[in-house]
Amino acid sequence: MAQHVDVVVIGAGAAGLFCGIETAKRGRSVLVIDHANKAGKKILMSGGGRCNFTNMDVTPAHFLSQNPHFVRSALSRYTQWDFIGLVASHGIDYHEKELGQLFCDHSAKDIQQMLLTELAQADGQLSLDTHIQAIAYENQKYQLQTSVGLVTSGSLVVATGGLSIPTMGASDFGFKIAKQFGHSVLNYRASLVPFTWNNADKSTWSALSGLSVDVQVSAVNGETFGLPLLITHRGLSGPAMLQISNYWQPGEHLIVNWLPTLDVAEKVAEDRHHSGKKQLKTWLGQYLPARLAEHFCQWLALNKTLAELSKGDVAILSEALNCWTFKPGGTEGYRTAEVTLGGVDTQHISSKTMMSQLQPQLFFVGEVLDVTGWLGGYNFQWAWSSGWAAGQVC
């Protein structure tokens, strides 16, 4: 026998659970379906197991989308302060790590449990391990053929997220549903992701793996972040690289300033008067980890004292340190990416309700949409805000 509910939500991740909660609180019958065996798997693995669930400074400028205004309405109607209030009302302890990023003191499980408790209290149903074979829309009803039988609903919310971490249940099902009902899907790619070496840099740099340095990194479009960079065997990672990956296109280069607070040419000119006998390696070691200082001297063949540096040497040194051009071989892809950049085009989606303007009672929430946040709790805030917006009307 078919099961009928007012609303089916596909995807029991951050956005789907939140939308399900808000919908159920309005007295609507809701079924949240997921093909995974656990709800909110990405919540559990997020923020190094502590879930960076929002940020104290959330503005539309922290998000990328073909339509940069799309996020405004939802972010202003359900804010970070609303979500922080919910977290506090569940007695979950949290702290600011840095840059406004809020993490659980104890575990990301607290956030997952909070969502499951809220859903159960509002009488929302959850169906895990449930596979959807086909979706049709007939007689103003959605009909879903699933592994547990036919499910029908008046509204359908697509909350299937992006493609990152395929082992956690990520799929392109949401993109397929969007296309089925006439929506376009913009080009998408792995983002908030580490970069891999090109062949030439790999041999020069990978021996330095494990080093972390505060740098400034810029993309071709001028977007710049001052944050730690981590050298790995595979390439460059750390917050600086993850952030800039949102603004990088395959084939482009990045500019790394290894000493953002120091104009190298100026400082050499100043110091060579009183410290001319100092080895460059020792001088650089004041500002960079010793291994990295040594690496630059060897790589640039500048095993000299400050006084011995020619004008040309200083130019080479300052270019390598203040303006190093890095051409990534690529990225680590969906295997380690935190998000998918791009996705369902927002052009025919209401920014107030997340409802399709092409198909009755069809909604898209969370990462499946062409909305990508910066690193720092922004992607979860988008999941809460967009899930909440749809949950008021679906």
Query: To the nearest whole angstrom, how small is the minimum distance from the Cβ of residue 113 to ligand FAD?
Result: 15
Among 124, 238, 342, 377, binds ligand FAD (CB under 6 A): 377
52 near ligand FAD, judged by CB under 6 A? yes
Q: Which uninterrupted H or E stretch holds 86?
A: helix 80-89
Buried b / exposed e along 228-243 (16+ C-beta atoms within 10 A): ebbbbebbbbbbbbbb
159 near ligand FAD, judged by CB under 6 A? yes
Separation between Cα atoms, residue 344 and residue 254, nearest integer Å: 28
116 near ligand FAD, judged by CB under 6 A? no
59 token code pair: 């503005």
Q: Which residue is nearest to ligand FAD (CB)?
A: 13
161 near ligand FAD, judged by CB under 6 A? yes
Separation between Cα atoms, residue 286 and residue 283, nearest integer Å: 6
**DSSP letter assigned to residue 356:** B
Query: To the nearest whole angstrom, how small is the minimum distance from the Cβ of residue 373 to ligand FAD?
Result: 6
Query: To the nearest whole angstrom, how small is the minimum distance from the Cβ of residue 48 to ligand FAD?
Result: 8
Among 142, 188, 248, 380, binds ligand FAD (CB under 6 A): 380
Query: To the nearest whole angstrom, how small is the minimum distance from the Cβ of residue 34 to ligand FAD?
Result: 4
Subset of 350-369 contacting ligand FAD (CB under 6 A): 366-368
DSSP 195-231: EEPPHHHHHHHGGGTT-EEEEEEE-TT--EEEEEEEE
Q: Long-range contacts made by residues 66-72, C-beta under 8 angstroms, separation at least 24?
A: 66/186, 66/345, 66/346, 66/347, 66/370, 67/346, 67/347, 67/370, 69/351, 70/346, 70/349, 70/351, 70/371, 71/351, 71/371, 71/382, 71/385, 72/351
Subset of 69-98 contacting ligand FAD (CB under 6 A): none
- Share of the chain residues as helix, strand and coil, in percent rounded to the nearest 5: 35, 25, 35
Subset of 21-50 contacting ligand FAD (CB under 6 A): 33-36, 41-42, 45-47
379 near ligand FAD, judged by CB under 6 A? yes
10 near ligand FAD, judged by CB under 6 A? yes
Classified as helix, coil or strand, 311 is helix
Query: To the nearest whole angstrom, how small is the minimum distance from the Cβ of residue 107 to ligand FAD?
Result: 13
Among 7, 8, 9, 14, binds ligand FAD (CB under 6 A): 14
Among 58, 163, 293, 339, binds ligand FAD (CB under 6 A): 339
Classified as helix, coil or strand, 156 is strand
Other beta carbons within 10 angstroms of residue 249's beta carbon come to 9
Query: To the nearest whole angstrom, how small is the minimum distance from the Cβ of residue 205 to ligand FAD?
Result: 25
Q: Which uninterrupted H or E stretch holds 362?
A: strand 362-364
178 near ligand FAD, judged by CB under 6 A? no
Among 74, 126, 132, 151, binds ligand FAD (CB under 6 A): 132
Among 5, 7, 8, 16, binds ligand FAD (CB under 6 A): 16
Helical axes 80-89 vs 378-391, angle rounded to 10°: 90
Among 5, 9, 13, 334, binds ligand FAD (CB under 6 A): 13
**For residues 42 and 281, which CB has a smaller minimum distance to ligand FAD in the complex?**
42
112 near ligand FAD, judged by CB under 6 A? no
164 near ligand FAD, judged by CB under 6 A? yes
Other beta carbons within 10 angstroms of residue 71's beta carbon come to 27
Bridging pattern class, strands 132-138 and 63-64: unpaired
**Footprint on this chain of ligand FAD (rule: CB under 6 A):** 10-16, 33-36, 41-42, 45-47, 51-52, 132, 159-161, 164-165, 169, 171, 173, 338-339, 366-368, 377-380, 383
